[in-house]
Amino acid sequence: MTASSFRTDAGLVVPAITTTQMREVDRIAIDELGPNLYQMMENAGGNLASLCVELLGDRWPSAPIVVLAGTGGNGGGGICAARHLANRGGNVTLVISNPSHLKGVPADQLALYRATGARVATVADLDTVDADLLVDAVLGYSLDGAPHGAAAELIRWMSRHPAPVVSLDIPSGVDSTTGVAPGAHVSATHTVTLAAPKTGLDAEAVGTLWLADIGIPREVYRRVGIELPPALFAPGYRVQLRASKT
Ligand SMILES: NC(=O)C1=CN([C@@H]2O[C@H](COP(=O)(O)OP(=O)(O)OC[C@H]3O[C@@H](n4cnc5c(N)ncnc54)[C@H](O)[C@@H]3O)[C@@H](O)[C@H]2O)[C@@H](O)CC1
Ligand SMILES: [K+]
């Protein structure tokens, strides 16, 4: 199912965008107006971490959290969230699909995470790791075909695990434009999508949908022809969205 728009609890209508439009928003932010990738990823990671703390309630900070990260921007956002959770005293374990493939901003996020002294485990260690909450940061909007390799292994592990899953941007394995999963995919309890909702987020696998403000000014959206409601983030840096049954 795809949605052309979503609604906030305040009744605001938020237009849904395609993956192509989202890439263009990213490009204009990174190449022209800002915020840069570090700034956007920091807002994404901090926002994701705050939802995890809220979801754990009085089990925070002792409850074990496992963050599963891929090697792209989605993984970078997950590693950033893991650092925020570790900085706040959380019981965090980070697992990366292919650590040797990390580069650029995601690699810098890992270096920063390592400075917290919190745990990094391997895919092989997964079955020895306890988890009360899983963070799915394996694949985002650059999903290309059915998940394969270590990414698919992490998705399958999450699918078998009883703990609730918070997905970053899109449940891994779901196409953010069509909402279709070409292969294995995560069924999220909550999804924190970034900047603007994608048309593919009207899918069962999304769970409760949140939109995170990652600090992008309106002019960036305007250059892609997108108008977001001015009061969209008045209630806070993360607002709940529901598909508009129009
Ligand atoms: N403005 C925004 O919306 C921002 C988005 N960010 C995040 O960046 C993500 C997009 O980042 P990227 O474009 O780097 O891509 P992704 O992080 O979505 O995934 C790319 C990685 O997954 C691998 N991959 C793709 N399809 C696969 C498959 N079928 N099986 C196994 N591996 C596969 C690719 O080789 C690549 O390493 C977004 O989803 C979002 O989470 C952040 O970077 C912050 C800014
Ligand atoms: K994801």
Region 206-234: mean pLDDT is: 97
The identity of residue 204, as a single letter, is E
Which residue's alpha carbon is nearest to atom 1 within ligand 1?
26
Region 206-215: mean pLDDT is: 98
Q: Determine the 3-state secondary structure of 145 from DSSP.
A: coil
Region 15-43: mean pLDDT is: 97
Query: Is 169 marked within a binding site?
Result: yes
Residue 246 has pLDDT above 60, yes or no: no
74 lines ligand 1 (CB under 6 A): yes
Token pair for residue 227?
Answer: 């108008």
Region 66-93: mean pLDDT is: 98
Residue 245 has pLDDT above 70, yes or no: no
Which is nearest to 166 in space by CA: 139, 134, 202, 203? 134
Residue 140 has pLDDT above 70, yes or no: yes
CA–CA separation, 62 and 174 (whole Å) = 31
**How much is the pLDDT for 66?**
98
**How much is the pLDDT for 58?**
98
60 lines ligand 1 (CB under 6 A): no
**Ion ligand 2, residue ranges at CB < 5 A:** 74, 136, 167-168, 172
pLDDT tens digits, one per residue of 170-197: 999 999 999 999 999 999 999 999 999 9
Handedness of CA 21, 23, 26, 27 (dihedral sign): negative
Kindly report the pTM of this predicted structure.
0.98
202 lines ligand 1 (CB under 6 A): no
ipTM, 2 decimals? 0.97
Which residue's alpha carbon is nearest to atom 24 within ligand 1?
143
Which atom of ligand 1 is least distant from the CA of 25? 1
195 lines ligand 1 (CB under 6 A): yes
Residue 149 has pLDDT above 60, yes or no: yes
CA–CA separation, 65 and 62 (whole Å) = 9
145 lines ligand 1 (CB under 6 A): yes
**How much is the pLDDT for 244?**
82
All domains of the chain in start order, with CATH: 5-243 (3.40.50.10260)
Region 149-166: mean pLDDT is: 98
Supply the mean pLDDT for the chain. 97
CA–CA separation, 154 and 136 (whole Å) = 9
The identity of residue 153, as a single letter, is E
Quickly state the pLDDT bin for 50 (edges 50, 70, 90): very high
What is the spatial order of strands in the sheet that 13-15 belongs to?
Answer: 13-15, 5-8, 238-243, 208-212, 190-194, 165-168, 133-137, 64-69, 91-96, 119-121
